[in-house]
A and B are shown apart, each in its own frame.
Chain A
Amino acid sequence: MRRLLPPLTGLTMLAALAIVFLVVPTEADMGIVQRIFYFHVASAWVAFLGFFLVAGASAVYLWNGSPTADRLAYAAGEVGVLFCTLVLVTGPIWARPIWGVWWTWDPRLTMTVVLWAIYASYLMLRGFGGDDPALARYAAVLGIVGVLDIPLIVVSVRLLRGIHPAVINRTDGGTGLVDPWMRIGLLVSALALILLAAWFMDLRVRGARLEEEVAALRRELDARRGEVA
């Protein structure tokens, strides 16, 4: 399964690119720039999955202290911030020609940038918090508090003024994705990005375990050197 992940990711990615750029019809009002939507929305889904995975793995870590859960939380945080960054990059590229501005304080935009900041600070804590072994526990607390904040952010940003299009669940009924290929394109690109995220996380989790093994071996080596001297 692990061996299959990279080629599977590559094939799905190629399929997503082919569907989005060759098959899906150009959107009538917005034109070519609308095609970024398939990666923008799919990245947002993956980012959210990553953030919830941080909270889930953090809760498991606090419950049973499993080092794998801790490594998974860290990797999910990295992947979540990466894809959230992609959302924040692809969004303005679309917004500039459509809204006329790169950025606006719409509820969804505000929510995304706040979530990005929360999990960026999670990575800061893990990266620069020192080498105290308790740091994993502190990070887990932050991972859980962060996900508790999400519903509050969602509700509070609605108090701001909004212009972001709601494509999937429209209040006027039906979906904004009129052509069936549009829906297929979105789903295939979401699948490709989920596979990519899984591959990244697998690499990071295994990398973290190797780093810990190296650190343990180095300590042992230093101890033995001390004995010889």
Chain B
Amino acid sequence: MRDALVILAKDLRIEWRTREGLSSVLVLGVLLVVVLTIAQDPSPETAPTLAPGVLWAAFVLTGMLGVQRAFVLERENDCLAGLLTAPLDPAAIYAGKLASNVVLLGVTQAVVVPLTGLFLHLDLVPRLPALLLVCLLGNVGFASLATLFGALAIRVRAREIMLPLLLLPLLVPLLIGAVQATCAVLVGGLAAASSGLGVLAAFDVIFAVAGWLLFAYVVRD
């Protein structure tokens, strides 16, 4: 647990010193929301119904690049090898990396979600607590799988294409759950979103545990 916090602090410090990853992921997230909205050419009436799909598609795509970048950084100068020679449990490395990815993606969401509300004429303020829960659950589930497969993809050939190829089909339940829950929250509040939230919560638990157990097999040499 303490080891995981050390990894988290290290990653956040690196990020804070350059702010390169965060700013590029933020701009990319905004850009994707714009592009995905324009691509559908919505009328003012249909615009709000697009929001959940646009939001989560943009989140998944930016998140994938953000996580990949975090592992590319570790690869430079063999940082990951150094990390693995340290007397750390691989599971602790996984937990720390997972936490730092969740923070990075959470900051992105904090900018992209209000912006989507603005672009697509949604009044998010009364729905904020419920929306926050959906975003958090989606974020943790995404990061659980992305952290495991980010570490895996960086070690194989054709790594740029391998991460989206492996990750996207596995993320389909998360995407369906998150979009359905966001829709329900925007229309009817938290109670209506229970089935979507259930899928998200189950996804989070299953893959956080799976990642925690399997990470050692990915990074072990």
CB distance B166 to A159 under 8 Å? Answer: no
**Whole-angstrom distance from the CB of A147 to the nearest CB of chain B?**
10
Is B176 on the interface with A (CB-CB < 8 A)? yes
CA distance A219 to B188 in the complex (A): 66
Segment among A9-17, A125-133, A189-197, A202-210 that sits at the interface with chain B = A125-133
CB distance A153 to B172 under 8 Å? Answer: yes
Contacts of B176 in A (CB 8 A): 156-157, 159-160
Is B39 on the interface with A (CB-CB < 8 A)? no
CA distance A110 to B179 in the complex (A): 15
**Whole-angstrom distance from the CB of B60 to the nearest CB of chain A?**
14
CB distance B156 to A145 under 8 Å? Answer: no
**What is the chain B residue whose CB lies nearest that of A118?**
B169
| Total residue contacts A-B, CB cutoff 8 A | 89
Is B170 on the interface with A (CB-CB < 8 A)? yes
Is B195 on the interface with A (CB-CB < 8 A)? yes
Greatest chain B CB density within 10 A among A121, A124, A156 is at A156
CB distance B156 to A125 under 8 Å? Answer: yes
Is B56 on the interface with A (CB-CB < 8 A)? no
Say whether, besides A124-B165, A130-B157, A135-B156, A155 and B199 are in contact (CB < 8 Å). yes
**Whole-angstrom distance from the CB of A62 to the nearest CB of chain B?**
6
CA distance A67 to B149 in the complex (A): 23
CB distance A152 to B156 under 8 Å? Answer: no
CB distance A145 to B168 under 8 Å? Answer: no
CB distance B162 to A125 under 8 Å? Answer: yes
Segment among B5-13, B72-80, B107-115, B200-208 that sits at the interface with chain A = B200-208
Contact with A along B170-201 (1 / 0, CB 8 A): 10111011001000000000000001101100
**Whole-angstrom distance from the CB of B162 to the nearest CB of chain A?**
7
CB distance A137 to B218 under 8 Å? Answer: yes
Say whether, besides A145-B145, A156-B176, A117 and B217 are in contact (CB < 8 Å). no
CB distance B217 to A149 under 8 Å? Answer: no
Contacts of A22 in B (CB 8 A): none
Greatest chain A CB density within 10 A among B168, B173, B198 is at B173
Interface residues contributed by chain A, number (CB under 8 Å):
31
Is B130 on the interface with A (CB-CB < 8 A)? no
CA distance A155 to B195 in the complex (A): 9
Quick one: which of B139-179 are within 8 Å of A by CB? 145, 148-149, 152, 155-158, 162, 165-166, 168-170, 172-174, 176-177
Is B118 on the interface with A (CB-CB < 8 A)? no
CA distance A153 to B220 in the complex (A): 30
Is A146 on the interface with B (CB-CB < 8 A)? yes
**Whole-angstrom distance from the CB of A118 to the nearest CB of chain B?**
4
**Whole-angstrom distance from the CB of B176 to the nearest CB of chain A?**
4
**Whole-angstrom distance from the CB of A150 to the nearest CB of chain B?**
9
CB distance A141 to B218 under 8 Å? Answer: yes
Say whether, besides A145-B207, A148-B206, A156 and B173 are in contact (CB < 8 Å). yes
22 A-B contacts (beta carbon < 8 Å): A110-B172, A118-B169, A121-B166, A121-B169, A125-B165, A129-B158, A130-B157, A137-B217, A137-B218, A138-B152, A140-B217, A141-B217, A145-B148, A148-B206, A148-B210, A152-B206, A155-B202, A156-B172, A156-B173, A157-B176, A159-B180, A159-B196
**8 shortest interchain CB distances as A-B pairs:** A130-B157, A117-B169, A152-B173, A156-B173, A129-B156, A156-B176, A118-B169, A114-B172
Q: A145-B148, A152-B206 are in contact. List 14 more A-B contacts (CB 8 A).
A: A114-B169, A118-B170, A128-B157, A132-B156, A137-B217, A137-B220, A144-B210, A145-B170, A149-B170, A152-B173, A152-B202, A153-B173, A156-B173, A156-B199
Interface, chain A (partner B; CB < 8 A):
62, 110, 114, 117-118, 121, 124-125, 128-130, 132, 134-135, 137-138, 140-142, 144-146, 148-149, 152-153, 155-157, 159-160
Interface, chain B (partner A; CB < 8 A):
145, 148-149, 152, 155-158, 162, 165-166, 168-170, 172-174, 176-177, 180, 195-196, 198-199, 202-203, 206-207, 210, 214, 217-218, 220-221
